[in-house]
Structure 1
Amino acid sequence: MPVLHSVIHKIDKKPDGSPAVLFLGGAEQVESQARDDLMYQFNESYNATAGKGWGFFHQESGAHPLSGWLDKYLAGGSDFLTFSTIAVEHLTKLMEESNLTTGGHALFCHYLQGMTDYLVIALVQETEAVTMTEELSLMAVKRLDLDHIRLAARINLSEWKGNPKSRQYISYIKGKQGRKINEYFRDFIGCQEGIDAPGETRTLLKAFSDFVESEDLSEESAREKTHTLVSYSMVQAKLGEPITLDELSELIDEDQPKAFANFIKAADYGLSETLPPDKKTLNKFRRFTGRAEGLSISFEQHLLGSKIEFDEAGGTLILRGLPTQLTEQLKRAKA
C-alpha cells in the first residue's frame, strides 16, 4: 500500500464554546515506517467499522467546493499540502458554523492499493496509552486513537475519474455520534448518498436464494455455494472492496461461471455490476439444514419470520410461498 502523500493538521476545539484553533502541518509527513504503519492500521480499522454509507460528489459549488480543489490537485494545479490546507480551513469553518465541539487531527492521505488510487480524509482523536521507559518505569503518552474512528471518508479516485456515472466511489462512516455531526462532515466532503449498502446486499442475497431454488440444487451444493458467497463477500468487506458480480458468479459455479450473473441480469433485480457489501446483513445470512426419516429441509436464515415461521413449543415449521413445482406435485398427489 504505497503512500504517495500524507499530511496531518490539528483542529483544537474545546467544549466551552471558544473558537476552534487550527494548527497547520507545515509539510507532508516524511516517508517512514511509522507513517506507513499508521495508514495500514487506519485502513484495517476503517474496513472493520460497521455502518458505512456509499455515495458520490455533489456538483461542485460554493457549498461543496472540495471536489474542485481535489480535481485541481489531481490535474497538477496544486500540490498535496496546499490542497489539504485549503480543505482543513474549510472544515474548521464548517465546524464553527455548526457549533460542534469535535476537534481532532485531520488526516489527509493519498495512497495506492493495487492499481487503485484512494484519498482518505479523517478526523482522528487522541487517547492516552501507557508505555515502558528504558528504566522500566511506566509513562503515560498520547496516541492517535485508530481503534475508534468516528469521522472519515475514503474516495476511490480511480473510480471517480474512470467511471463518471458511478454512484459509489465515496464511502464514509455513518457512526453513532449524532446526525448533526455526521451531516456536517458529509457536507464537508460534498457527498450525497448513492448506494444503500444494506439494501443492495439484501437484494443480492434474495437473488442468490432465487437462483438456488431455480437450479434445484442438492442440499450439499446449496450449502457450498452459500458458503462461497458469504466468504467472498466478507473478504471484500474486510479489504474495503466492492462485490463484483462477474467475479462472484465465477466462484459460485466454476463449470458455468456466468450462470449466476446472467440469472441476475435476466431477472432484472436492479443490481449494479459492483456493490458494497454490508457485513451486518451478511452475518444474518446462513443456511439451516436438517434431514430425518425421508424429510430434507434447507433454507436461509433471512426467510424466518417471512416465508417460514417456527413454532418452538410445537416443534413445527409453517411454510409460505412454496415453489410452484412442489405445489403442483402436491396437488397431483392429493388428487
Structure 2
Amino acid sequence: MAINHVILHEVKREKDGERVKVNLRKKENNALGLAGSLTDSLIELFTHSTLNIGEFAVDGDPTIDPAFEQTLAEHYDDLECSDFIVMTTVMANRYAAIMRRPKLQSVKGGLLIFYEYESRGKIWLALAVLQRADGYDISDDLELEASQIIDINKLHLGAAINLTDWEEDLSSRYIKFKTGLAAEVRDYFEDFIGCQRDKQAAIAETKSLKKSIQDYAKNTLGMDDDVVQFKVDDAHSFIKQQLKDGLEVKLTEVANRVFPDTPDDFLVLARETYDVGEEVAISNTELKKYLRISGKASGVSISFDRSLLGKSIIYGNDGKLTFNEIPPILKEEILEELASRSNEN
C-alpha cells in the first residue's frame, strides 16, 4: 500500500453565517515524507469506518455525470492524473461554493485532504474532511504548550473512489463514503461528491460476511463442513441479537465472537479479500440463508443449505423431496448397505 499524491486545502467558516475562508496549497504535500504510520492511517480511514457504498449519479440517474466525476474524467486518463494540484483546487473551490449556499450557513467545513493511493492492486482517490482539535505539545524545555491537532483516525466526512473500477467500468459499487447522520450534512456532502447509495449493499455485504466466515474456517483453519456451519450459525445468532437490541453489526465484534482465538487474522481476510467494512449492512433475507433447512422425524434427519433448494434439491407438488446430488460418503454408505443386504439374501 502506498500514497502517490497528497495535498491539503482548507475550506471553513468559524461561526454560523460567517464568510467561508479558503486556503489552497499551490503544490502537493510530500507523499514520500509521510511517516509510515500516517500513510497506514490515511489508507485505513476507508476500511475501518462506517461507510456507505455507491456510484456517481445525478438525481438517481447513474448515466449523468455529476460535477465531481466530470473533474475526475478531465484529469485522469488510464489511471494517471495529469495535474493533481489543479484537479483538487477545482474540487475545493466547488466545495466552498456549496458551503456558501443560503441554506448551508451552519456548515463549518474544515481541512480537505485529497490523496491518491494504491491498495489491493487498485488505485483509489480519497477525500476526507478533517477537523482541528485543541491539544497540547511539549517544548524542547519540557513545557506544556497549547496546540491544535488533527485526529487522523476519526473520519467525519469523506469518500474514496475506486478509480480502477470506475475508469474500467468494472463495478457499480466503486465509491465508499461517510456523510454523517444529520440530514443537512449528509445531503450537501453527497451533492458535492455526486454519489448515490447502493440499495443492494446490504444484500452484498451480508453475503460477503458469510463467505468470509466459511472461507476462513474451512481454508485457513481447516475445519470440516459441520464445524464451518457451526461458525456460520454462531454468526447468525450474534447478528440477530444485535439487530434485536437495535445495535450496529460491527465486523470486529463478529470476529471476536466467531473466531475468539484469531480475530485479527479473520479481519484481514474479510477486509482485504471480501471487502467487508467495519459496520456491516445486514439484509434479513440474506441473513436467514445463514441457517440450513433441517428437520428430523421417524429415524430420518435431513439438513442442507437453503441455496440448494430448487437446484440440486427439489421439493415437488406431491410432497416428495428429491436429491439430484448426494455426498460421496453418503452414497458409498448406501451402496455398502445395499450390497450387505444382497449378500445376506
Q: Which TM class, normalised by the smaller chain length?
A: 0.5 to 0.7
Work out whether residues 54 and 194 of structure 1, in 8 Å CA contact, stay in contact via their aligned partners in 2. yes
Work out whether residues 20 and 96 of structure 1, in 8 Å CA contact, stay in contact via their aligned partners in 2. yes
**Alignment-derived partner of residue 86 in structure 1:** 90
Work out whether residues 124 and 144 of structure 1, in 8 Å CA contact, stay in contact via their aligned partners in 2. yes
The Cα shift of 1:33 comes to: 3.1
List gaps (5 residues or longer) in structure 2. 218-223, 236-257, 302-345
Structure 1: which amino acid aligns with 2:55?
F
From the superposition, tell whether residues 142 and 206 of structure 1 become closer, same or farther in structure 2 (CA, over 3 Å): closer
**Alignment-derived partner of residue 267 in structure 2:** 234
User: d(CA) in 2 for partners of 1:56 and 1:127?
Assistant: 32
From the superposition, tell whether residues 38 and 220 of structure 1 become closer, same or farther in structure 2 (CA, over 3 Å): closer
**Alignment-derived partner of residue 141 in structure 2:** 135
Q: Which segment is superposed worse, 150-159 or 13-22?
A: 13-22
Structure 1: which amino acid aligns with 2:75?
Y
User: d(CA) in 1 for partners of 2:209 and 2:38?
Assistant: 35
Work out whether residues 7 and 107 of structure 1, in 8 Å CA contact, stay in contact via their aligned partners in 2. yes
1:222 aligns with 2:226: no
For residue 198 of structure 2, give the secondary structure of its aligned residue in structure 1: strand
User: d(CA) in 2 for partners of 1:322 and 1:79?
Assistant: 57
Larger radius of gyration: 2
Structure 2: which amino acid aligns with 1:182?
R
The Cα shift of 1:172 comes to: 0.6
1:15 aligns with 2:15: yes
**Alignment-derived partner of residue 43 in structure 1:** 43
**Alignment-derived partner of residue 2 in structure 2:** 2
User: d(CA) in 1 for partners of 2:150 and 2:18?
Assistant: 23
String of CA shifts for 1:93-117, please: whole Å, max 9, x gaps: 1122241422101111112225321
User: d(CA) in 2 for partners of 1:218 and 1:78?
Assistant: 52
**Alignment-derived partner of residue 286 in structure 1:** none
From the superposition, tell whether residues 66 and 135 of structure 1 become closer, same or farther in structure 2 (CA, over 3 Å): same
**Alignment-derived partner of residue 169 in structure 1:** 174
Work out whether residues 202 and 280 of structure 2, in 8 Å CA contact, stay in contact via their aligned partners in 1. yes
For residue 181 of structure 1, give the secondary structure of its aligned residue in structure 2: helix
For residue 22 of structure 1, give the secondary structure of its aligned residue in structure 2: strand
User: d(CA) in 2 for partners of 1:282 and 1:184?
Assistant: 23
String of CA shifts for 1:169-199, please: whole Å, max 9, x gaps: 11011433x1221221122111111254433
User: d(CA) in 1 for partners of 2:81 and 2:276?
Assistant: 35
Work out whether residues 201 and 281 of structure 2, in 8 Å CA contact, stay in contact via their aligned partners in 1. no
**Alignment-derived partner of residue 30 in structure 1:** 30
User: d(CA) in 2 for partners of 1:199 and 1:114?
Assistant: 23
User: d(CA) in 2 for partners of 1:186 and 1:329?
Assistant: 59
User: d(CA) in 2 for partners of 1:322 and 1:35?
Assistant: 52
Work out whether residues 213 and 231 of structure 2, in 8 Å CA contact, stay in contact via their aligned partners in 1. no
Identity among equivalent positions (%) equals 20
For residue 83 of structure 1, give the secondary structure of its aligned residue in structure 2: helix
String of CA shifts for 1:86-137, please: whole Å, max 9, x gaps: 0111111112224142210111111222532110111111112222111011
Write the mapping of 1:69-148 to structure 2, written as runs, cut at 5 A.
Answer: 69-75=71-77, 78-97=82-101, 98-99=103-104, 100-148=106-154
1:323 aligns with 2:328: no
User: d(CA) in 2 for partners of 1:208 and 1:46?
Assistant: 19
From the superposition, tell whether residues 208 and 70 of structure 1 become closer, same or farther in structure 2 (CA, over 3 Å): closer
Structure 2: which amino acid aligns with 1:202?
T
**Alignment-derived partner of residue 276 in structure 2:** 277
For residue 123 of structure 2, give the secondary structure of its aligned residue in structure 1: strand
For residue 91 of structure 1, give the secondary structure of its aligned residue in structure 2: helix
TM-score, normalised to structure 2, is 0.62
User: d(CA) in 1 for partners of 2:277 and 2:131?
Assistant: 26
* Alignment counterpart, residue 181 of structure 1, candidates 174, 177, 185: 185
Write the mapping of 1:149-164 to structure 2, written as runs, cut at 5 A.
Answer: 149-162=155-168, 164=169
TM-score, normalised to structure 1, is 0.64
**Alignment-derived partner of residue 311 in structure 1:** none
List gaps (5 residues or longer) in structure 1. 244-275, 284-301, 308-320
The Cα shift of 1:37 comes to: 4.3
Structure 1: which amino acid aligns with 2:53?
W
User: d(CA) in 1 for partners of 2:108 and 2:135?
Assistant: 21
1:65 aligns with 2:67: yes
User: d(CA) in 1 for partners of 2:63 and 2:97?
Assistant: 18
Structure 1: which amino acid aligns with 2:267?
M
The Cα shift of 1:27 comes to: 0.9
String of CA shifts for 1:257-284, please: whole Å, max 9, x gaps: xxxxxxxxxxxxxxxxxxx42544499x
For residue 105 of structure 1, give the secondary structure of its aligned residue in structure 2: strand
From the superposition, tell whether residues 140 and 45 of structure 1 become closer, same or farther in structure 2 (CA, over 3 Å): farther
